[in-house]
Amino acid sequence: MAAPAVVVVGAGQAGVETAAALRGRGFTGRITLIGDEPPWAGYRPPLSKGYLAGAAPAEDMALRPASFFAERDIEIRVGDRATSVDPERRTVTLRSGLRVPYDRLVLATGSRPRQLPVPGASLGGVLTLRSRADADELRARLSDPPRRLVVVGAGFIGLEVAATARGLGHEVTVVDVQRRALARALTPVLSSRVVAEHRAHGVRVLLGREVTALHGDTEGQVQIMELDGGERIAADLAVIGVGVLPHTDLALTADLMVGDGIVVDERLRTSDPDIYALGDCARFPSPRAGRHLRIESVQNASDQAKCVAAGICDEPFAYTSVPWFWSEQYGLRMQLAGLTAGHDEVVTSGDVEGGRFSVFSFRAGRLIGVESVNRPADHGISRRLLASDTTLTPDEVRAPGFDLKKLPRTSPTERVAVRT
């Protein structure tokens, strides 16, 4: 039988890596990659960090150079958008009217920023950050005179933008309705340390406060942010970082199962076995979390791409990677391994004040996640520990002289228990 024809929708991290991983496995069938954004503008991490600060060059945003696709015989259509899928006829229809047949379809459609549901959210100068174009606009508005920037949402993107803008000399206020920053992603130890760092750098961080409206000037540009209780804060610019919504519209046209993301199984197949979904848009069963979840990270998109490619090549593969993520704010290099939600015990090792420490999270005595600040070795070793069956107990972390570097090296395939 001839190799199946694969159509990948979305030329971002997940889509490009899927096409690359297929060719990497020696897949010889036809691959068509459809994207409304070109892959040479698709690597996003620098957009809130170095690129926004003007330090990282635009070339750093390329997922792959243009030559990659021709060299690997990947047909690429950028600037077009898939508008519907017909699973009976197995075709994808594009905005241009083109119909592309597939044997296997891969949905790598990513996500978009959530809008703030308050009056004034569509005023000029109220921005979200997802694409290179968004970053260019924000960068242009942050060039030259000092601005009063308000950031709504103390998540990774909001806080990275705040740190970058503060570094450029702007006056920055961050507001979040949650009582602590990054409440979903981080343990309280790290979230309060991050907030302390922002405050030490002169950022005003208001937690447990709700933005009720944005008000504009006569030209429709944002001027005031209003909070619960009526407080008004002057703003020349507002960045909304209140989370993302997965792109599921296309999946709905194919009647796929959807619920906060396109629902997939452990091999990343949707409710139609010929259609896969991955990356920001996919909701997968996580053996680590014991439930379905969506993860928005480069690691997740890249590693899931390998799983989808293996699936299309009929090779067994289930998605069990250890999630990891990084963020950089001021001099703090934060790295997260595993998932900390649902922890019942945390043990901190190192110097929290000095900004060199790790926070180990346990559930029922079992290590589930590690947050490291300026401790890259702890992060790397933790990723391997979490991938193996090796145990690390809270008492081991608490023991005087504890040093992860002293543990014998483990790999995911070695099933050994390390005990001192």
Site for ligand FAD in 299-358 (CB under 6 A): 299, 301, 325-327
Query: Residue 390 interacts with ligand FAD (CB under 6 A)?
Result: no
Q: How far is the CB of 288 from ligand FAD (least distance, A)?
A: 17
Instruction: Name the minimum Å distance from CB 158 to other proteins.
Output: 20
Angle of CA points 93, 95, 99, to nearest 5°:
25
Q: Among residues 23, 114, 130, 333, which is the contact residue for ligand FAD, using CB under 6 A?
A: 130
State the Cα–Cα distance between residues 58 and 65, nearest whole angstrom. Answer: 12
Q: Which of 6, 7, 8, 15 binds ligand FAD (CB under 6 A)?
A: 15
Torsion, Cα of 252, 254, 257, 262 (10° steps): -70
Judged by beta carbon, residue 286 or residue 410, the one nearer ligand FAD is 286
Q: Which does 48 bind (CB under 5 to 8 A by kind): other proteins, ligand FAD, none?
A: ligand FAD
Between residues 333 and 366, which has the closer beta carbon with respect to ligand FAD? 333
Residue 45 beta carbon to other proteins: minimum distance, rounded to whole angstroms: 6
Q: Give which of other proteins, ligand FAD, none residue 284 binds (C-beta under 5 to 8 Å, depending on kind).
A: none
For ligand FAD, the closer of residues 13 and 223 by Cβ is 13
Segment 102-121, which members bind ligand FAD (CB under 6 A)? 108-110
Identity of the residue, 279 or 355, whose beta carbon is nearer to ligand FAD in the bound complex: 279
> If DSSP codes are grouped into helix, strand and coil, which group holds residue 282?
strand
Nearest to other proteins of 89, 409 (CB atom): 409
Residue with Cβ nearer ligand FAD (247 or 383): 247
Query: 266 touches which of ligand FAD, other proteins, none (CB within 5 to 8 A by kind)?
Result: none
Shortest spacing between CB 43 and other proteins, in angstroms: 6
DSSP string, 283-313: EEEETTTTEEE---SHHHHHHHHHHHHHHHT
Closer residue to ligand FAD, CB minimum distance, 62 or 227 = 62
Q: Is the dihedral of CA 219, 224, 225, 227 positive or negative?
A: negative
The CA distances from residue 328 to 49, 111, 198, 320, 321, in Å, are: 7, 22, 12, 26, 23
Could you tell me if 61 and 51 are in contact, meaning their C-beta atoms sit under 8 angstroms apart? yes
- Strand, coil or helix: 274: coil
Rounded Cα gap, residues 163 and 178, in angstroms:
19
> Of these partners, other proteins, ligand FAD, none, which one is at the site of residue 36 (CB under 5 to 8 Å by kind)?
ligand FAD
Alpha carbons 18 and 358: distance in angstroms, whole number: 33
The residue from 7, 31, 45, 256 that contacts ligand FAD (CB under 6 A) is 45
* 47 touches ligand FAD by CB under 6 A: yes
Q: Which helix (H) or strand (E) holds 398?
A: helix 394-398
Q: Which is nearer to other proteins, 80 or 328 (CB)?
A: 328
> What tokens appear for 247 in the block?
């792109």
C-beta of residue 293 within 8 angstroms of C-beta of residue 309: no
Q: Taken in order 354, 395, 363, 413, is the CA torsion positive or negative?
A: positive
Tell me the closest approach of the beta carbon of residue 327 to ligand FAD, in angstroms: 6
> CA 3 → CA 28, 105, 317, 363, distances in Å?
6, 14, 19, 45
Residue 45 or 241 having the CB closest to other proteins: 45
Kind and range of the H or E element at 166?
Answer: helix 156-167
Which listed residue (6, 7, 8, 12) binds ligand FAD by CB under 6 A? 12
Q: Summarize as ranges the residues that interact with other proteins (CB under 8 A).
A: 20, 24, 43, 45-46, 50, 60, 62, 64-65, 67-68, 71-72, 298-299, 302-303, 321, 324, 326, 328, 333, 335, 375-377, 379-381, 383-384, 404-405, 409, 411
Q: Tell which residue, 299, 257, 314, 312, has the closest CA to residue 282.
A: 257
Residue ranges that bind ligand FAD, judged by CB under 6 A:
9-15, 34-37, 42, 44-45, 47-48, 81-82, 108-110, 129-130, 157, 247, 250, 279-281, 296-299, 301, 325-327
